[in-house]
Structure formats: C-alpha cells, structure tokens
Amino acid sequence: MLEALSCGLRTFLRVAPLCVAFSGSFAILGVGIISLLSAAGLAPMGLPLIGGFLLIAPALLAGFFGISRALRSGRKPSWRDITQGFRQSPRALWGLLVVCLFLFVIWVTDAGILYSFMLGRSYAGWKMMFPLSGELMRFHLGAAVAGSLFAVIVFCITAYAVPLLIERRANLVVAVTASVRAIFRSIAANMTWSLILGGTVIVSIIVPLLLTVTLPVMAFATESLYQQVFPDEPA
C-alpha cells in the first residue's frame, strides 16, 4: 500500500495543475451542496452525503485513467484525455455505476429517514454537520452503521472491476467476479485499503482544498494497486 501511495503521489506531481483543476470542480460542487443543506436547516445530513460520495466516486477513475494513459504514451495530459477517458469507457462500466448510484440513493434515503426520526428539526450552520451533542452523535452513528454495508458492497464489486472495465479486459460479470475474488483472497489488506481510501476522501471533502490533492493521489494509487493484482498480460 505504501508503494501504491508513493506511486500515486509521483504521478500526481507530474500533472498537478490538471489534477487540481479536475478535482477542484468536485470540491466546489461539494461545498455548494453542503452550503445548500446548511441553509435549508439540514446541516447534519452533510456527513452522510459526504460518506455517500464514496459510493459513486469510482466513476471518476475513468478520467484519471485517461491522464495516466497519456503519461504512459509519452504525451502531456490535457482535458481532452480526461474527457476521452469517460467517452471511451464501455457501456458495462456505466451499467455498474448505475448500480452504485442506486445504492447511493438508498443510502441517502435511509439517512433522511433516520434524520426525521432521530432529529426532526432544523440545524443550520456548517458546525452542525458534526456530532456536537448526544442526539447528533446518535444520528451519525446510526447513519454510519447503515451506510457501512453499502460501502462494503460497492468496494467489493468496484475496487478492481472498474479498472478492468475501463481497460476493456473483461465484461461486466467477469470483472465483478474477479474483483470480489481478489478482495477475499487478501481481505485484511483490501479492507485496510478501503478504510484508508474512505477516511482520506471523507476528511478531504470536509476540508475541500485537500480534495484537490488527495483525490488524484488516491485515484492513481488505486490504479497502481490494480496493476499489482492484475498485471498486464505478456504480449
């Protein structure tokens, strides 16, 4: 994992301005959404929404793979490589991500139901995102327990399936099966990586400027781990 993180950092430093601009767009979007929640008196829903981002974040790998693909070919990456990374992704990838989006909707809906039963009143201001009282603590613990199941499911089916699909090395069924098998072959290491990945992204969304660095670093580190588990087949 340390080797993968080191590789991710080195790749990021080679194309930092482009990566910061790409990741920054999601940081701005996140700030906007949380600001709207706060203004609407639903600030505690901010953390569940941030956690839910992890369920749809695998979609961003297509753009980062486009950047690394350009680097491997000896070219200077540009926005065109990012857009081509998305455009050239197979339909099976988008089918898998629709499943992730469906789980995200269920997760946010469950969090909303918990909010109505456990809190049920207005909480405005960014600081109310955090467990500053007993009732907020109970809400966040309940939401975390409910969301952890979805997070584990999404990690197992996408961790290696998304890269396999992006590189067109497998169809949807084979990619998901291979991903789940790879997870369970080294479950301790993979679950540790999932905690590092999830914790880093969540903290970075709370402190949005961090996301412009950590998101690309973790994406490139994920690609490095994938290449270790599924090395290129010899020509």
The pLDDT profile of the chain, 235 residues, written as one tens digit per residue, is 778 888 888 999 999 999 999 988 888 887 888 888 878 777 778 777 777 777 778 888 888 999 998 998 888 898 999 998 888 888 888 888 888 888 888 888 888 888 888 877 777 666 666 666 777 788 878 777 777 788 888 888 888 999 999 988 888 899 999 999 999 988 898 888 888 887 887 777 777 778 888 889 999 999 888 988 888 764 4
Rounded Cα–Cα distance for residues 75 and 120 (Å): 54
| Terminal Cα distance for the chain, rounded | 27
pTM of the full structure:
0.84
Rounded Cα–Cα distance for residues 166 and 78 (Å): 18
Rounded Cα–Cα distance for residues 4 and 33 (Å): 32
pLDDT of amino acid 4: 84
Task: Kindly tell me the sign of the dihedral angle through the C-alpha atoms of 206, 210, 216, 219.
Answer: negative
pLDDT of amino acid 176: 92
Rounded Cα–Cα distance for residues 37 and 30 (Å): 11
